[in-house]
Structure 1
Amino acid sequence: MTPAIELTRLRKQYGRRTAVDSLDLRIEPGSVFGLIGPNGAGKTTTLRMILDIIRPTAGAIRVLGEDPRRGGPALRRRIGFIPGELRLDGRMTGRRLLDFYSEVSSPVTSGTIDRLADRLDLDLSRPVHALSKGNKQKLGIVQAFMHEPPLLVLDEPTSGLDPLVQREFLRLVTDARDRGQTVLLSSHVLSEIQQTADVVAVLSQGKIVAEGDVASLRLGAIRRVRVGLAATNATVIREQLGALPHISELDVRSETDIVRVSATVDGDIDPLVKWLAQCRVIDLAVEEPDLEESVLRLYGEPSRPETGERDA
């Protein structure tokens, strides 16, 4: 089966700086592919080359079986795109803007725009310039999804959205995959990747340093734990917790009749849970670090952003 996207030894240089370095990538049709990494890793540069917004220094790109440099408008109509920095303005209403986009994209089935707007709680009667950042982002989502393209390329698509709308967006992604569409999703939000992506590639310093499913990459294995214990001997607790595996950044402090503990768990949390079961726990919070921190912990420091690129 022809891959939806295939990159072969793709490279992009800005002068002496290398933003993307010999990138090989294959995305199968009908899948959700997560592209993640810290700022400056090369994610946005890669997406822009896939869409022929910028040209690579070297290497080959195939999108839906075609070279994007030669595919022209016919290929672009088969792609839905949300840029990382969406800029929408003007006095026309959201509906008129989407009607305009529908004339230059592939045909849009009657009622699809209203259905998507309802799902995202988007008022199409308001002028675009009067919309909040979140509502402009909703407009961007509708224009990308409305013609049900074979390929969706989404760069930080939930920026500015409230949690309920983020959840509905993830359902849109899942629905698209169920219809056989391919989704390339670049995100800093770990939960988005965990809930939607079939395969994930971790980009660092312009190179793929890991690829696989979320579980195999251990992206959810790092957690911050804060707990209050009905105890007074902080020294003993510090010694016991320090002897447990996977514990780091341990901080133990005594308060009146309570010991406050904070720690980072990098790996199996079960030993800590079993230790806590022996104590009287007053309060407990377990949090994931953000995606960028997870990637940095697992795969090292990012490169510096390239000149002229938001996320080279």
Structure 2
Amino acid sequence: MPLLETVNLTKRFGKFTALDQVNLKVEKGEIFGFIGPNGAGKSTTIRVLLGVLKATNGEARIFGKDVWKAAVDIHRHLAYVPGDVHLWPNLTGGEVIDLLIKLKGANDRNKREQLIEMFHLDPSKKCGTYSKGNRQKVALIAAFSSDADLYILDEPTSGLDPLMENVFQECVLEAKKEGKSVLLSSHILSEVEKLCDRVGIIRQGKIIETGTLRELRHLTRNHIYVETLQPIKSLDRLEGVHQIETKDDGVTFQVDMESLDSAIKHVSQFGILKLESFPPTLEDLFLRHYAHDQKGGGDS
């Protein structure tokens, strides 16, 4: 049984359909990336999973329990970090961390101190003086200090500098080593690509692709740069070859994965001097899906 599962999850606000039959699965010990532009339905999905919003139709279960009916019990084993953390301004960061850890029933002081040091947080300052990045650190430290089985992270590195993003990634990978599961909603595609075992892409409230990066990359193109002894002829006639450009000493082009072999065989006839291949990234996949449609839905 998946640790987290939604089946035909639908959420309507009046006549507007924010989620349209969303199907997701997160297995034990898996890091699942949940990506899409603003307004696609990511935050609405997460609010339903947290029991904040009630679904209009469909099912959503965590630990095999209904997220709406068993929300209190589920939250005992779940840690959540939003993209915009609001804290009690008159409490210190350390006091808030202690409070949040205590609510989870955890009491690992060593882990708490280790994370405070890793994230370079001054826990003696009041939260009202913290920057956005420091508020995120408080929430992340509290989350990773708790003994949660599932982490739901909604744009968790918002406001963090690159060094702290690396620390966050270390924490996520450590949680995976311990057999924990993570649902990571992020717009930082390099972060998703580095961390996630599987990825789900949502657009206008619908899941349009789900799979491992290897499975999804069939939809993207390799970027090729090649220098040859003789000018390359008839490259534009090959099926699956796109965006051919002549550079000072060579040619760049994009090629569909299924056409890569025939393209390389073709250019090799002209005497290859230099060949560079750049594999497709998650960003390429993402842009392919959204380039033709910038409208999006709206997370209400």
Same fold (TM over 0.5): yes
**CA spacing shift, 1:92–1:62, aligned 2, 3 Å:** same
Q: Residue 124 of structure 2 aligns with which residue?
A: 125
**CA spacing shift, 1:179–1:226, aligned 2, 3 Å:** same
Q: Residue 33 of structure 1 aligns with which residue?
A: 32
| Distance in 1 between residues matched to 2:87 and 2:10, nearest whole Å | 31
Matched AA of 1:29: K
Structure 1: runs of 5 or more not aligned: none
Deviation readout 1:207-249 (Å, 9 max, x if unpaired): 222221111101894466789x899xxxx67x66645665434
Q: Secondary structure at the match of 2:109?
A: coil
| Distance in 2 between residues matched to 1:269 and 1:163, nearest whole Å | 35
Matched AA of 1:305: G
Structure 2: runs of 5 or more not aligned: none
Q: Residue 285 of structure 2 aligns with which residue?
A: 294
TM-score, L = length of structure 2: 0.81
Are 1:73 and 2:72 matched, yes or no?
yes
TM-score, L = length of structure 1: 0.79
- Offset, 1:157: 1.6
Are 1:215 and 2:207 matched, yes or no?
no
Deviation readout 1:123-154 (Å, 9 max, x if unpaired): 22233233232222222211221112011001
| Distance in 2 between residues matched to 1:67 and 1:155, nearest whole Å | 21
- Offset, 1:161: 2.1
Q: Secondary structure at the match of 1:7?
A: strand
Q: Residue 5 of structure 1 aligns with which residue?
A: 4
Q: Residue 145 of structure 1 aligns with which residue?
A: 144
Q: Residue 194 of structure 2 aligns with which residue?
A: 195
Counting only pairs closer than 5 Å after superposition, residues 86-235 of structure 1 correspond to structure 2 as 86-88=85-87, 90-218=89-217, 221-222=220-221
**CA spacing shift, 1:163–1:266, aligned 2, 3 Å:** farther
Contact 1:201/1:211 (8 A) holds in 2? yes
Q: Residue 297 of structure 2 aligns with which residue?
A: 305
**CA spacing shift, 1:208–1:280, aligned 2, 3 Å:** closer
Contact 2:205/2:297 (8 A) holds in 1? no
| Distance in 1 between residues matched to 2:260 and 2:162, nearest whole Å | 27
Contact 1:12/1:57 (8 A) holds in 2? yes
Contact 2:6/2:60 (8 A) holds in 1? yes
- Offset, 1:202: 1.9
Matched AA of 2:293: E
- Offset, 1:279: 5.3
Deviation readout 1:256-277 (Å, 9 max, x if unpaired): xx46977555547785797798
Q: Residue 242 of structure 2 aligns with which residue?
A: 248
| Distance in 2 between residues matched to 1:249 and 1:280, nearest whole Å | 19
Matched AA of 2:53: I
| Distance in 2 between residues matched to 1:131 and 1:260, nearest whole Å | 52
Contact 1:204/1:302 (8 A) holds in 2? no
Contact 1:41/1:302 (8 A) holds in 2? no
Once the two structures are aligned, what percentage of the paired residues are identical?
Answer: 32
| Distance in 2 between residues matched to 1:74 and 1:100, nearest whole Å | 19
Deviation readout 1:140-182 (Å, 9 max, x if unpaired): 2112211120110011122222223222212211111111111
Contact 1:41/1:205 (8 A) holds in 2? yes
Contact 2:84/2:136 (8 A) holds in 1? no
- Offset, 1:189: 2.3
Contact 2:213/2:282 (8 A) holds in 1? no
**CA spacing shift, 1:174–1:146, aligned 2, 3 Å:** same
Contact 1:188/1:290 (8 A) holds in 2? no
